[in-house]
Amino acid sequence: MYDSPKTGTAVDQKDIKITARKVQVYYGDTHAIKDVDVQIEDKTVTAFIGPSGCGKSTFLRCINRMNDTIDICRVEGDILLDGEDIYDKRVDPVQLRAKVGMVFQKPNPFPKSIYDNIAYGPRIHGLAKNKAELDEIVEKSLRRGAIWNEVKDRLHAPGTGLSGGQQQRLCIARAVATEPEVLLMDEPCSALDPIATGQVEELIDELRENFSVVIVTHSMQQAARVSQKTAFFHLGNLVEYGETSQIFTNPKDPRTESYITGRIG
């Protein structure tokens, strides 16, 4: 069932987590995503790059069916998670999103305490049997989010009171708390200053040990720093997909080269 992607390099020894085949997305009459085929590996950071409006965020939102919340949006083609079609009628998007977590562009902590922000996911999914277990999950998630040391003394302070970088790491910890298998990140650093960006990037690299991470980014340097695989989108098409080092040093498609050298963007 694993066809080799048309544009990418050969698949290496890692497992394939997500397979997309002939995905089309329409917003009303606009054809936003055209014929995208891609295979995303487990325990890898995959970066989506491309100019604004190229469809990379739209495609990302297809992977956990966040586009369902937009009335005029329509998705065709197959997206398989561990070989199961996530657009199958029997699939409940709620259950899917528990497996495929998401972190957004702007940090969006809930207007609750830090503890309740993290505990929110485990509570709704019933992951903890009692308070002690929940405490354990919160601590573990905050550690994984690399923010435990900063907030352990004020777990019951509001999450909105943190700095921007801390808020984003809190949101990552919140997403991790539900034990997803895939973590989608939609430009997670675009609202952060360089120092906070550095911390979040370091965190992303660590998350690779446990999750398959897909990150949309505007910054080519960021893609080069954090990702192992890179996909370049342009005008709704997936132009090129491959090892990050290969895409940045030896792009095959002239459009990729133009983008990387700064001629389009």
Compute the least distance from the CB of residue 248 to other proteins, in Å: 25
Compute the least distance from the CB of residue 133 to other proteins, in Å: 4
Q: Does 111 bind other proteins (CB under 8 A)?
A: yes
Helix/strand/coil (H, E, C) string of the chain? CCCCCCCCCCCCCCCEEEEEEEEEEEECCEEEEEEEEEEEECCCEEEEECCCCCCHHHHHHHHCCHHHHCCCEEEEEEEEECCEECCCCCCCHHHHHHHEEEECCCCCCCCCEHHHHHHHHHHHHCCCCCHHHHHHHHHHHHHHCCCHHHHHHHCCCEHHHCCHHHHHHHHHHHHHHCCCCEEEEECCCCCCCHHHHHHHHHHHHHHCCCCEEEEECCCHHHHHHHCCEEEEEECCEEEEEEEHHHHHHCCCCHHHHHHHCCCCC
56 backbone φψ class: left, alpha, beta (φ>0; ψ -120 to 50): alpha
Compute the least distance from the CB of residue 129 to other proteins, in Å: 7
Specify the stretch interacting with other proteins by CB under 8 A; choose among 20-28, 198-206, 227-235, 253-261: 198-206
Over the window 81 to 100, marking each residue x when it contacts other proteins by CB under 8 A and - when it does not, the resulting string is: xx-x-x-x-xxx-xxxxxx-
Compute the least distance from the CB of residue 264 to other proteins, in Å: 29
> From the list 42, 179, 243, 257, which residue makes contact with other proteins (rule: CB under 8 A)?
179
Q: Does 125 bind other proteins (CB under 8 A)?
A: yes
For other proteins, which is the closer residue by CB, 11 or 128?
128
Q: Does 153 bind other proteins (CB under 8 A)?
A: no
- The bridge status of strand 212-216 relative to strand 229-234 is unpaired
For other proteins, which is the closer residue by CB, 93 or 265?
93
> From the list 10, 71, 131, 156, which residue makes contact with other proteins (rule: CB under 8 A)?
71
> From the list 54, 203, 214, 223, which residue makes contact with other proteins (rule: CB under 8 A)?
203
Q: Does 252 bind other proteins (CB under 8 A)?
A: no
| Residues lying near other proteins in the complex (CB under 8 A) | 64, 66, 69, 71, 81-82, 84, 86, 88, 90-92, 94-99, 101-104, 106, 108-112, 120-122, 124-129, 133, 136-137, 140, 143-146, 148-149, 171, 174-175, 177-179, 181, 199, 202-203, 206-207, 209-210
